Structures are given as structure tokens and as C-alpha cells.
């Protein structure tokens, strides 16, 4: 008789990397449906191109450069592809998206050693790479057009944050902001849909409340104080919460396991840091939106936070 004689524990809870990755994918579905509705074919094309090229680059790099068994179906490259697409305008040409995918997977993930080893959120590395390389294309936002059949050839206009920056243009109503009828990156527009995803991830215990709540609360407080002091100069904090990539970033980008701190206290420090940086960039920087930069900067602080902020030790103070 052949017996296994491995050490304890002898049972496993059944959780897996792909369960977590696919859980996040399911949480992204409502937001994706909103973007399909308001941006039409463009949203579909950008998403498909981004996902396929991220997975392809992951496969090629693992197979031919790292010479190891590709782990294409763990869901991580698929998720990076989807999140990259969510951070792009829906009229971005295919070739630019492919370059973004190469930057995300190649520079953001694989150059560090692949899954679990990257310091920066790969999708945001891709997005910021494109933002710096193609500033014109990356800041030309399609105006929502229900079920549009056009891809690159669409009407473009200002986003909420560019209107705030320039001080001109008519802001959408709160209802429009909540359902997602506004200009912006294809996945960031639908506030309610993004919040549904958040609730799903809480229920499935994929993420805890610490990071999203601390980011949103910080932005709300910071912009709220400035608004109270000078309402003419600074916008209402609710507008800040519902505009730009704040919700998408707080719920789906900043909560990336690999690049965020490990202790609860560390998560709060990280979240507050992102909230502060985002607000500072939005209100005092030259870019209208600062979410991506804020997350990447705090990603860089994560190892430092991890080495100073420890989980609460049993019997400790």
C-alpha cells in the first residue's frame, strides 16, 4: 500500500489563485456592460484587443524568454488586460493598445519575474506608459452615445475633471454620473456598476474594506474641506467621488493583492496616501486626474509600509 506521509495540515480550504482572479473578473462585468451601452463597439474592440494581446504577450514571454511552462489560465493576464482596457478611451487605435499591453505585461509584470513579484500594478504601468507616450490620443474622450457602432470615428468632448480644470462646460447631472452617462475611460464611468462589483468582492471576501474605504473617505474629506472653504474655486466632494477614475481605481486597481500592503493598518496608510495624492494632483497639478499616478506612487511605498507596519501580534501591545 502506498501512503502519503506529508506534514500537516492534511486538508485544504479549496481556495485558488484563479478563483480569486475570476472573482474579480465577475465583479467587473457590470461596469463592462455599462461601457458597452454608452460607448458601443469601441468599448468591445478596445477590451478584446487589450485582453488578447496581454494574454499573448504573457504566453510568449513565459514560453520563449523565461522558458517555463506558461500559466495562461490562472486568470491574471486576462485580468490585467481587462483592467488596462478599462483605463483607456474607447476610441484608442489598436496599435496603441498593443503597445500598452506590451508595457503592462512585459515591463510591469514579467520583467520583475511574473505573477506575485511585480512592484507596480501592471495595468497602470501600461496606462501611464501610454499617457506619457501618446498624450493626445490618451486624453481625447468619446462622448457617450448609446450603442454606438463607430470605433475611432466618434464625437469627442471634455470629461468632468477637464471641465473642472478649465472651468468651462456643463457638468452632467448626478443621475448621469451614477449610471455612467459621462465621458471618460471606458471602464470608469458607471459609479453604481463599480459599487456593485465592490459589494460582490466584499461578499466573496476577495478584498477587505480597508483600501477602498480609506481612499474614498480621504478624497471626500480633503475635497470637502476645500469646497467648504471656497465653493467657487473647488468642486463639491460628491462630484470628485463620482468623476475620473476614482471609483475604478479605489475598488479595482489599488486593491491589487500583489502591490498593496499586507497588514490592515498598512492598507489604511496606503489608502489615505492614495487619496491625498489624487486630490493634490487633481486640484493643484497640471493633469486633470491623478488616480493612476497616486496608486503607482503608493505601490512604490508598499514594501516600506510592509516592513514597518506589522499585523497585530498575539500578546503584543
Partner 1 sequence: MLKTFRIGGIHPPENKLSAGKAIQSLALPKQVIIPLSQHIGAPAVAVVKKGDEVKVGSLIGQANGFVSANIHSSVSGKVNKIDNVLDASGYRRPAVFIDVEGDEWEEAIDRQEGFVKAFDLTSKEIIQKITDAGIVGLGGATFPTQVKLTPPPGNTAEILIINAAECEPYLTADHSLMMEKGNEIMTGISLLMKAVHVKKAVIGIENNKKDAIAHLQHLQSNYHGIEVMPLKVQYPQGGEKQLIDAVLRRQVKSGALPISVGAVVQNVGTAFAVYEAVVKNKPLFERIVTVTGKEVANPGNFKVRIGTSIQALIDAAGGLPEHTGKIIGGGPMMGKALASPEVPVTKGSSGVLLITEEEAKRKPVMPCIRCTKCVNVCPMGLNPTLLMTSTEFTNWDLAEKNHIADCIECGSCSYTCPSNRPLLDQIRLGKGKVMGIMRSRKA
Q: Which residues would be at the binding site for partner 1 (CB under 8 A)?
A: 1, 3-13, 15-17, 19-20, 71, 74, 76, 114-117, 208, 257-258, 260, 262-263, 310-316
Torsion sign (Cα): 254, 257, 263, 264 = positive
234: left (phi over 0), alpha (psi -120 to 50) or beta: beta
Q: Are 122 and 109 in contact (CB under 8 A)?
A: yes
Distance CA 85, CA 107 (A): 17
Nearer CB in complex with partner 1: 15/170:
15
Structure-block grid coordinates of residue 139: 486624453
How does DSSP assign 209-278, residue by residue? SHHHHHHHHHHHHHHHHHHHH-TTTS--HHHHHHSTTHHHIIIIITT-TTTS-SSHHHHHHHHHHHHHHH
Minimal distance, residue 267 CB to partner 1, in Å: 9
* Residue (286 or 307) nearer to partner 1, CB: 307
Contacts of residue 96, Cβ cutoff 8 Å, sequence gap at least 6: 130, 134, 137
In the complex, the smallest distance separating the C-beta of residue 194 from partner 1, rounded to whole angstroms, is: 21
- Minimal distance in Å, beta carbon 108 to partner 1? 15
Q: Nearest distance from residue 50's CB to partner 1, in Å?
A: 21
Q: How far is the CB of 1 from partner 1 (least distance, A)?
A: 8
CB of 20 or CB of 148, closer to partner 1: 20
**Minimum Å distance from CB 57 to partner 1?**
18
Cβ nearer to partner 1, comparing 76 with 148: 76
Nearer to partner 1, 112 or 134 (CB): 112
- Cell numbers found for residue 77: 493576464
- Pick between residue 84 and residue 211 the one whose CB is nearest to partner 1: 211
Strand pairing category for 156-157 and 141-142 = antiparallel
Amino acid at each position: 500500500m502506498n501512503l502519503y506521509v506529508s506534514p500537516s495540515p492534511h486538508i485544504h480550504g479549496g481556495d485558488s489563485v484563479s478563483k480569486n482572479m475570476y472573482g474579480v473578473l465577475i465583479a467587473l462585468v457590470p461596469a463592462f456592460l455599462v461601457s458597452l451601452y454608452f460607448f458601443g463597439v469601441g468599448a468591445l474592440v478596445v477590451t478584446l484587443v487589450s485582453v488578447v494581446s496581454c494574454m499573448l504577450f504573457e504566453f510568449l514571454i513565459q514560453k520563449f524568454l523565461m522558458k517555463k511552462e506558461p500559466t495562461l489560465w490562472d486568470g491574471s493576464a486576462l485580468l490585467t488586460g481587462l483592467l488596462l482596457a478599462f483605463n483607456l478611451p474607447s476610441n484608442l487605435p489598436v496599435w496603441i493598445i498593443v503597445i500598452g499591453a506590451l508595457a503592462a505585461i512585459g515591463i510591469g509584470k514579467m520583467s520583475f519575474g511574473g505573477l506575485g513579484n511585480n512592484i507596480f500594478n501592471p495595468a497602470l504601468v501600461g496606462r501611464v506608459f501610454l499617457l506619457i507616450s501618446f498624450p493626445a490620443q490618451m486624453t481625447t474622450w468619446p462622448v457617450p452615445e448609446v450603442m454606438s457602432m463607430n470605433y475611432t470615428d466618434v464625437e469627442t468632448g471634455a470629461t468632468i475633471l477637464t471641465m473642472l480644470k478649465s472651468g468651462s462646460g456643463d457638468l452632467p447631472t448626478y443621475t448621469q454620473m451614477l449610471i455612467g452617462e459621462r465621458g471618460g475611460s471606458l471602464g470608469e464611468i458607471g459609479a453604481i456598476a463599480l459599487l456593485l462589483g465592490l459589494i460582490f468582492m466584499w461578499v466573496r471576501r476577495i478584498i477587505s474594506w480597508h483600501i477602498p474605504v480609506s481612499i474614498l473617505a480621504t478624497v471626500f474629506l480633503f475635497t470637502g474641506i476645500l469646497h467648504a472653504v471656497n465653493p467657487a474655486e473647488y468642486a463639491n466632494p460628491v462630484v470628485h467621488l463620482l468623476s475620473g477614475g476614482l471609483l475604478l481605481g479605489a475598488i479595482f486597481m489599488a486593491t491589487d493583492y500583489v502591490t498593496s500592503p499586507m497588514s490592515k493598518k498598512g492598507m489604511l496608510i496606503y489608502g489615505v496616501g492614495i487619496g491625498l495624492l489624487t486630490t493634490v494632483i487633481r486640484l493643484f497639478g497640471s493633469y486633470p486626474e491623478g488616480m493612476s499616478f497616486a496608486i503607482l506612487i503608493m505601490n512604490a511605498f508598499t514594501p516600506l509600509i510592509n516592513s514597518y507596519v506589522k499585523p497585530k501580534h498575539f500578546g503584543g501591545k
